[in-house]
Amino acid sequence: MNKIELKNLLFLARIHAEEKEYPEITKKLTNTFNLIDEMNNLDLKDLEPLNNPLELKNVSRTDKERNRNQKDKFLDQSPESDDDHFMVPKIIE
């Protein structure tokens, strides 16, 4: 993984790192991918991918009235909020 690829990956994951940290991060990622790449030695022909161990069925809840307005409870958790909104720095210049 070169410097530009790592920079793109860090941005995609929304993680900041200083350029001086890049060699160490690259080394750690390469080590893990060396382990992962052992998959390439396996014969996986005709195997259907499995994303969950159990057969999943769609589940719907009963159509019952519930109090879902817990706005204050959740806004209270926010680092910054007003009466109705989560507050963040300016998005549009």
Would you say 41 and 48 are in contact if contact means Cβ atoms under 8 Å apart? no
Residue from the set 19, 38, 63, 84 that interacts with another protein by CB under 8 A: 38
The residue among 4 and 44 lying less far from another protein, judged by its C-beta, is 44
86 binds another protein, rule: CB under 8 A: yes
The residue among 19 and 37 lying less far from another protein, judged by its C-beta, is 37
Burial class (CB in 10 A: 0-12, 13-18, 19+), 25: middle
Q: Which amino acid is at 16?
A: H
The structure tokens listed for 72 are 């204050």
Count of residues touching another protein (by CB under 8 A) = 49
Q: How far apart are CA 17 and CA 7, in angstroms?
A: 9
Residue from the set 2, 35, 68, 69 that interacts with another protein by CB under 8 A: 35
- Under rule CB under 8 A, which residues in 10-29 are in contact with another protein? 10-17, 25, 28-29
The structure tokens listed for 6 are 């790592």
Q: How far apart are CA 59 and CA 69, in angstroms?
A: 22
Binding site for another protein (CB under 8 A): 9-17, 25, 28-29, 31-40, 42, 44, 47-54, 56, 58-59, 61, 70, 73-74, 76-80, 86, 88-91
